[in-house]
Amino acid sequence: MSNSREIRLFWFKLAFVVTVLGLAHLLALSVVDGKTSIGLAKVSGPRQSHMIIGTSRIAQAVMPSVLEKEIGAPFLNFAIDAATTSYSPTYNRAIEQKLDPHASNGKFILAMDPWCITGFYHPKNGTVMYPEKKTPLGQLQTFNWPLNIEYLIRDYHEGWGSIILTHLRDNSTVTGHRDGWVEVTRNTDEDFVQSRKEKKIAAKKKEIEHAFVSEEKKQALYSLIKKLKAHGKVYLVRLPVDPDYYLLEEEFYPGFQLFVDSLVRDYGVPFLSMQNMTSEVAYNDGHHINKKYAPLISERIAQWIQSTP
């Protein structure tokens, strides 16, 4: 048993350690930037009227800054990756939380490719998996804080001291911009690109063994389009990919174009396929566009939006 002096000293020491740790964490918070987390800017800040929606492909290819310059509307790129932001009720909930409920003249660019509506079976027991529910975005309660600490806590899996180290280092290959664009810097030597493409295609082929076109995800997409149409115009875009990768997509879901046609017909939304641009651009891995071509892609989309009645 301790006497009161010892207890007071104990509390003093504990308070000292907690205060120092608290200050160190505050310091880390003060230097949080796009190198800390690519999703953080997307879930921080006010609700939005114009959004880019989809998976990592569109997260890296469409730059809101270019769209704003061309169209005059400030967009938020709200796409993260296939595990988190392929169409699903979970993603729809996040979009709803981020969407300005008073927006009436919004513009919404939705990525269209088979992976956006692909579900997966558990490789061992064959049950349908819902990985998006376990992602930081899927579990998030707050979407509009100036700096979303809740997201940071859920998404950042390292000691917060490494936020400071990452901030000081200048060799980050992935940066999330304030407007949500994800800038990925990769070695563009042909050998590296080819090797990454081969690996990506091999990994995708393996993934496909347990994948299926999900009716549930299609339903989520329908409901998202309906919801967004009430707030403005919806634009469907299929981004270009390497021809080998395109072939893989066609093999996986041969009826994809028919599905898109049905969306255009049933919901009256315009669709732009950019696959004919494949020779004009370069890729990091056959799937994600090289960042040098993101302005070009964004510009073409902006021009198409402006020319679409």
In the region spanning residues 12 to 51, those forming contacts with other proteins, defined by CB under 8 A, are 14, 17, 21, 24
CB 49 within 8 A of CB 231: yes
In the region spanning residues 204 to 243, those forming contacts with other proteins, defined by CB under 8 A, are none
Q: For residues 192 and 262, which CB has a smaller minimum distance to other proteins in the complex? A: 192
CB 231 within 8 A of CB 99: yes
Q: For residues 23 and 230, which CB has a smaller minimum distance to other proteins in the complex? A: 23
Burial class of residue 175 (count of CB atoms within 10 Å of its CB; 0-12, 13-18, 19+): middle
DSSP assigned state of 276:
G
Exactly one of 115, 143, 160, 181 binds other proteins (CB under 8 A); that residue is 160
Q: For residues 21 and 247, which CB has a smaller minimum distance to other proteins in the complex? A: 21
Exactly one of 12, 101, 102, 127 binds other proteins (CB under 8 A); that residue is 127
Q: How far is the CB of 144 from other proteins (least distance, A)?
A: 21
Q: How far is the CB of 238 from other proteins (least distance, A)?
A: 32
Which of these segments, 72-80, 121-129, 186-194, 228-236, binds other proteins (CB under 8 A)? 121-129
Q: For residues 74 and 192, which CB has a smaller minimum distance to other proteins in the complex? A: 192
Q: How far is the CB of 2 from other proteins (least distance, A)?
A: 4
| Cβ atoms < 10 Å from Cβ of 26 | 10
Exactly one of 15, 128, 165, 247 binds other proteins (CB under 8 A); that residue is 165
Exactly one of 12, 101, 104, 124 binds other proteins (CB under 8 A); that residue is 124
DSSP letters for 17-51: HHHHHHHHHHHHHHT--TTT-TTTTTTSSS-BSEE
Q: What distances in angstroms separate CA 258 from CA 215, 253, 266, 272, 302, one per listed residue?
A: 15, 10, 12, 14, 25
Burial 256-282 (b: 16+ CB within 10 A, else e): beeebeebeeeeebebbebeeebeebe
29: tokens are 């918070």
Does the footprint of other proteins cover residue 158 (CB under 8 A)? yes
Which of these segments, 8-16, 68-76, 218-226, 283-291, binds other proteins (CB under 8 A)? 8-16
Exactly one of 153, 202, 247, 264 binds other proteins (CB under 8 A); that residue is 153
Q: How far apart are CA 205 and CA 252, in angstroms?
A: 9
Q: How far apart are CA 38 and CA 155, in angstroms?
A: 10
Q: For residues 158 and 244, which CB has a smaller minimum distance to other proteins in the complex? A: 158
Positions touching other proteins (CB under 8 A) are 1-2, 6-7, 9-10, 14, 17, 21, 24, 124-127, 153, 157-162, 164-165
